[in-house]
Amino acid sequence: LPGQCHQIQLSGLPFHGAELGGGMKFFQRLRDVLVEPRTYFERVHKERFSQPFLFYVVFLVILAIPNSLMLQREMQISPRWLPLIVPLEFIASVLLILFATWIVQLCLRLVGGKGDYNDTLKASVYGSVPAMLLEIPVSIIDLLIKSTAWDVIMIVLSLAAMAYSVYLSILGYSLY
């Protein structure tokens, strides 16, 4: 009605305010998976496919621009292609996590794993938080500073984040 302020119903969407599925705030999820991973994985055990998937999509949206700018510079692609690079990288990342999760699920089944695809997706997505989180400052700093010293620091930090991501993923797989 004219002159009245209308509220948009967001409760079924991935964000309700700053929340992401299941009433848990996005940044609270980041903190919990990094600091209390076992408790976090136990708490999200009953989440449906949509919640970890939407969490991953939100992360991809946050990473899209800095990663695409870095990719554009590293591959010496003309800036006019950036509007094409961003959605292609996004689509490729979504397909990659879904396919990689399927492969991991098959491997886990071969060694006696009991969890389903949804459980494997949760462990894969939430386990990747340290590596994905580090991508944000690394991409931005790499765009601003190009030096061998920074490259060495970036490699060391990336290896540490990847190692913690592998640990978190294995922890998640083992709980399901």
**Which range scores top for mean pLDDT: 20-29, 91-100, 134-143?**
91-100
pLDDT digits (tens, 9 = 90+) for 33-79: 999 999 999 999 999 999 999 999 998 988 888 877 777 777 788 87
Q: Quick: pLDDT tens for 92-121.
A: 999 999 999 999 999 999 999 888 999 999
User: pLDDT by residue (tens digit) across 61-73?
Assistant: 888 888 777 777 7
Q: What is the pLDDT of residue 23?
A: 53
SS3 content of the chain, % helix, strand, coil (to 5): 75, 5, 25
Predicted pLDDT of residue 120: 95
Four-residue CA torsion sign, 53, 26, 159, 65: positive
Decide if pLDDT at 18 tops 80.
no
pLDDT for 157 equals 92
pLDDT tens for 79-93 read 788 788 788 888 999
